[in-house]
Amino acid sequence: LDAINNGKDSWKVKVRVIRLWDAINLNNNELISLDMILLDEHGTMIHAKVIKHMVNKFRPLIQEGLVYMIANFKVTSAMNFRPVEGDKIINFLHTTKIQEIKGLKNIRIAEQSFMFCSVEVLSTRDGQRMYLSDVIGVASYIGNIEETGTTHGISKIRDIVLRIEDQKVNIRLWGNKVDQIDEDSMVLS
């Protein structure tokens, strides 16, 4: 994955799909794309996506956790809201080929990969739109669901405070993610 670039569309990579999700427009709940994080045998991760009008073609062929040979895709520069720390993204094309690789002896790719960062790094990302950050902490506050205006309409939000490494980190959930946590999830101390 380190070697791929936007110089051609005929790349071929062996990767594990370690995350797979639908990117949804939070304002109208419409599908934007099928997104995934791919991991190669060197531990390199990259964001990949299938745009809306090709999702029905590729969704049945892709399963989180499995290893694939993926060929004929476009590499472009990553924009805002990157789920991994990299400057490239793989875009599936109509001509993209995907084939599952079976047999444990042929697979030397880890099952998962994470990019944990310190609270200091998280605080430098506050207000930025570059990287999405996964965090693990203890919820010390879970706010009510509220509505806020955005440039695209009204969206639901919920503020949360997590304790991480003896510090408090403010988190904001958007759209349908606000319903995935409630006050019963909070640990009282």
| Residue 38, in any domain of the structure | yes
- Give CA–CA dist 159/171, Å, rounded: 6
Domain final residue pick, 47, 74, 100 = 100
| Residue 25, in any domain of the structure | yes
Domain final residue pick, 100, 125, 151 = 100
Is there a single domain that holds both residue 85 and residue 18? Answer: yes
**In the predicted model, what is the mean pLDDT of the chain?**
84
Q: Please tell me which of 102-106, 107-111, 160-164, 184-188 the model is most confident about, judged by mean pLDDT.
A: 160-164
| Residue 84, in any domain of the structure | yes
Q: Quick one: pLDDT at residue 183? A: 66
Could you tell me the CATH number of the domain that includes residue 26? 2.40.50.140
The parent domain of residue 24 ranges over: 11-100
Q: Quick one: pLDDT at residue 2? A: 84
Name the least confident of 71-75, 104-108, 185-189.
185-189
Confidence of residue 121 (pLDDT cuts 50, 70, 90): confident
| Residue 61, in any domain of the structure | yes
| Residue 111, in any domain of the structure | no
Q: Quick one: pLDDT at residue 188? A: 47
Number of domains, the chain: 2
pLDDT at 105 over 70: no
pLDDT of 37-50, one tens digit each? 999 999 999 999 99
| Residue 170, in any domain of the structure | yes
Is there a single domain that holds both residue 31 and residue 91? Answer: yes
DSSP string, 31-87: EEEEEEEEE-TTS-EEEEEEEGGGHHHHGGG--TT-EEEEEEEEEEE--SSBSSS-S
| pTM of this structure | 0.75
Is there a single domain that holds both residue 92 and residue 161? Answer: no
pLDDT at 169 over 90: no
